[in-house]
Structure 1
Amino acid sequence: MTTPQDELLPATRRALLHRIAVAQTEGRAPSLAAAVVRDGQALWHGARSSVDGHGPDEHVQYRIGSITKTFTAVLVLRLRDEGLLDLGDPLEKHLPGTGAGEVTVAQLLAHTGGLAAESPAPWWERTPGSLRPDLGDVLGGQPFRHPVGRRHHYSNPGYTVLGSLVEKLRGAPWEDVLRQEVLEPLGLKRTSGRPTAPHAGGWAVHPWADVMLTEPAEDLGRMAPAGQLWSTTADLARFAAFLTHGDDTVLSARTVREMRAPAAPAEAADLADGVAYGLGLQIQHRDGRLLVGHSGSLPGFLANLTISAEDDVAVVVLANCTSGPLLGAVAAGLVRIVAEAEPRIPEPWRPLPDVDESVLDLTGPWYWGTQGFALRLTRDSDISLEPLSGPGRRSHFRANDDGTWTGLEGYYAGEVLRAVQRPDGTVSHLDLGSFVFTRQPYDEEAPVPGGVDPEGWRGIR
């Protein structure tokens, strides 16, 4: 007897409920709601305690804080994919006069622009956005805290600037663009800039007594692209599925993979935890898994979205308290429960529907000097290059229109691989960023830099 793939086993469901129940009780959260996604579908929703006297379900809104940044990053990458900007463009090219124009779009996305973590006082999360009507009020007179590009330094003003960039290039308010280009295409009907009933109220829980205090819910104004949104576990489950698999109406699978790849080094304090940052997504190695997503917090609310792409499991956890349960740990625990109790069933192998014979001829062993590598044609018609055995440099490569390929990861990220032909049209060697890969170790018929000893291979005499 088998369990349908769109259901979880009863034991798994109970383990998930137990995990969030412990988190809500020990974390002293007024309410906590969660969802689990697999194969692009929400398979489980759970919640503890109450909102307005009723148990919260998957349609109750919570404020999601900095998960908003991931939505903003999606809008920016749409602009890039449409050719309206390049990630290497300095801000000044598109949004002049900010005082931070030397920072590139990519650096803003990855928090490596050196900008301050917060806007000038008063604290923007607990004061009206009307106090900061212009970018100058957000960035202040001295926007930089570090040299541009030197280190990862999380910056809320940086994502405010990205929101303004979206507005400039689209000619419409950030929230309107978000609704038209992301929320509506993905069916996120309960995600909005302002709460709509039913929604949770935000609370501060006293650290030494079981009593609560209402937190203000400010409209963040210009800072909205950094943390304004309200959403539900149902909507964020759909968003997590999109960040795992892509959706060509919004961003391709290739682009969301790019978002999930490290784009900034870990801060020194995070090195032990293996934390890094991609393009609008946080990255962490935890419990032997690579987890990507984003956390969020505003007064009265905590939020977390976590994805294990390898396990095809995503988790959303929301709570309405300023501090308390460690939602990152809760989300990682929920991922682990599903991944270990019900390991992913791989897709059945199927042959490619079509193949380019010239690319097929390139597959097989190649040698960089004496080290053997295997070039493989992958299912998405891209290629991969990896050592025949043991560790070493490896990468997938994306096909370009001119017959070359561009590396997507590791040492070869951004480097161009091309097959160099002889006058008769046969392939002499592969050139990868000036490295020559030959069919035989130091092939005499290929132009190996430095040449090949004419005496050939020999033993000790």
Structure 2
Amino acid sequence: MSLRGEGMSVLNGLDGLDEVCEKALAEHGCPSVSVAVAQGDELVFARAYGRADPGTDRAAGPETVYGLASVTKSFTALAVCLAADRGLLDLDAPLSGAHRWAPTARQLMRHRGGFPAYYDFHYGDRPGPIDPGAYRRQVREPGGGFEYSNHGYHVLGGLLEEATGRPLRTFLREQLAEPLGLASFEFGDAYPGSGPVAVRCTADGRAYPDCWTSHPAAGAGWATAGDVALFARRSAGLLRPETAAAVLDGLPITDRLGYGFGRIVQREGGAVISSHGGGMGGVAAMMIDLPDRGLSLAVLTNSTNKAARDAVVRHLMAAQAPEFDPGHLQPVSDPARELTLSPGSWAGVIDAPEGGIPVQVDLLDDRRVRLRLADHPPVTVPAAASRQWDVQFVADVQLPTADARLNSPSVGLALRADGDGLTGRAVAFKNGDHDGLLGPFLVHPCRLRPAG
């Protein structure tokens, strides 16, 4: 454990932190957690708890490096803004490329580029067997609704490399990490630095092998908690004032939260709270900045389960900023609503890369649906609705495609009424990693017409 700096009495929430962290690790089976606080431009607190490597009983320390998962998006967005400030790209110029509708960098940073949700995680030899381009199909015109999408940040990574003429890792290291004094920060499928690294673990404590994705700009960052906290505090200093302000110009995603440039933004009584979380196999991370208080925090863990991370964050924020919206931890932009779609039967196809897959949905009168997918026996599962979808449900049924068979054994359908039919998407995914390792999240268009 380590304590740095003076003036700890002005930082609320640190009394009792040891007990909160140790309890969270024990209750949620999390191997370790690292916590850091920056005040002004300096790191004033850094402490870690638990085991960075349960297999060897190696303890975690403030110098331990963790995977950042989607906290990486804040670094990528800053790099895009820095390139724009230097005249290397235009945030509002339509991007070239094979897009149905040309998005802008500004739209992509705000997750409004029209791309659907997506991730792929592969273990073993590269390249992986999934062609991400088959799923990188825009589902709406850019500038419309918010949809959190790794596709958009993948496109931003390519834009940066094209505009700067450098590999993304090189640009992030030389133009962000070094000027900001982030000695531990790195970018890659596995940590290429020399510092001690936290072994990523499943929710039930098994170690993950090295993992790679087709969208590294969305989630391949690594750093200590201290460097994440310093990044949150110092990063605005690299930008022109008007660009730094635009980072926190969040378009609404909920009643209280917006999404800016790689930041979730909350404004309460004139004060700002910005954040970004991250989660993937063996990673649950959180970065929070309170610019009006000159304070930032980072909480990093090496478990897929976010519960320990969330318990520590809630303790700290209850003391530092009681107005903190828990939606920062898991923003939900499509809240649930009453299921009002009338019972009926619809049939059609799921548009997969290999061709159409037959599907029939029977909405019953007891808030359940009967799903008939390809040649699988029919299954009956609960149904729900949301602001965006008139009916949605999940079934433990295998989508019969080569990509889904790799490691995505469940299917979820989300459909809205379209005339007398239903239109939406079918998602092949894996619900957690209690069995095996986390798999890809694959979105397919789906269109159904009245059956019979």
Interval of TM-score (by shorter of Structure 1 and Structure 2): 0.5 to 0.7
Alpha-carbon shift at residue 205 of structure 1 (Å): 2.7
In structure 2, runs of 5+ residues without a counterpart are 323-452
Deviation at 1:138, TM superposition (A): 3.0
Q: How does 1:213-292 map to 2 (within 5 A)?
A: 213-220=206-213, 222-243=214-235, 246-247=236-237, 250-262=238-250, 264-266=251-253, 270-271=254-255, 274-284=256-266, 290-292=272-274
SS in 2 for 1:317: strand
Cα 1:25/1:261, change in 2 over 3 Å: farther
Corresponding pairs, count: 311
Contact 1:15 1:337 survives alignment (8 Å)? no
Cα distance in structure 2, aligned partners of 1:241 and 1:113: 28
* Whole-Å separation in 2 of the counterparts to 1:5 and 1:323: 31
CA contact (8 A) 1:300 1:322 kept: yes
Deviation readout 1:127-174 (Å, 9 max, x if unpaired): 7662389xxx43426611223221000110100100000000111111
2:289 aligned partner: 307
Deviates more, 1:123-132 or 1:70-79: 123-132
Residue 52 of structure 2 aligns with which residue? 51
Q: Identify, as 1 or 2, the structure richer in strand.
A: 2
Letter in 2 for 1:171: G
**Bigger Rg, structure 1 or 2:** 1
Confirm or deny that 1:151 pairs with 2:145: yes
Secondary structure of the structure 2 residue equivalent to 1:88: coil
| Corresponding letter in the other structure for 1:76 | V
> For the Cα contact (< 8 Å) 1:87–1:104, is it kept in 2?
yes
Counterparts in 2 of 1:5 and 1:303: CA distance versus 1, 3 Å: closer
TM-score, normalised with respect to structure 1: 0.62
How far apart are 1:332 and its partner, in Å? 4.7
Quick check: 1:80 aligned with 2:68? no
User: What residue is the counterpart of 2:72 in the other structure?
Assistant: 68
The alpha-carbon deviation at position 282 of structure 1 amounts to 1.2
How high is the sequence identity, in percent, across the aligned residues? Answer: 27
Q: Distance in 2 between matches of 1:265 and 1:329?
A: 26
2:22 corresponds to which letter in structure 1?
Answer: A
Looking at structure 2, the residues matched to 12 and 297 of structure 1 have their Cα atoms a distance apart, in angstroms, of 24
Contact kept? 2:279, 2:306, Cα under 8 Å = no
Q: Corresponding residue for 1:90?
A: 94
Distance 1:319 1:69 in 2: 18
Q: Secondary structure at the match of 1:13?
A: coil
More helix by share: 1
How far residue 23 of structure 1 moved from its aligned partner, in angstroms, is: 2.7
1:35 to partner: Cα distance? 0.6
Match of 2:302 among 301, 320, 333: 320
Given that 2:153 and 2:218 are in contact with CA atoms closer than 8 Å, whether structure 1 keeps it comes out as yes
2:174 is aligned to 180
Cα offset, 1:8, TM superposition: 0.7
Pick which of 74-83 and 160-169 moved more: 74-83
Q: Contact (CA 8 Å) 2:290, 2:296: kept in 1 or not? A: yes
Cα-Cα RMSD: 2.8
Please say if 1:118 is aligned against 2:118. yes
Shift, 1:41, TM fit: 1.6
Residue 50 to residue 78, structure 1, CA distance change in 2 (3 Å): same
Distance 1:129 1:91 in 2: 28
Q: Shift of the alpha carbon at 1:277? A: 0.3
Given that 1:106 and 1:279 are in contact with CA atoms closer than 8 Å, whether structure 2 keeps it comes out as yes
Letter of the 1:232 counterpart: T
CA distance in 1, matches of 2:127, 2:148: 23
CA–CA distance in structure 2, aligned partners of residues 18 and 254 of structure 1: 42
2:280 matched residue in structure 1: 298
Counterpart of 1:183 in structure 2: which amino acid?
Answer: A
Q: Which residue of 1 aligns with 2:202?
A: 204
Which whole-Å CA distance do the structure 2 matches of 1:260 and 1:11 have between them?
A: 25
The alpha-carbon deviation at position 309 of structure 1 amounts to 1.6
SS in 2 for 1:237: helix
Equivalent position of 1:429 in the other structure: none
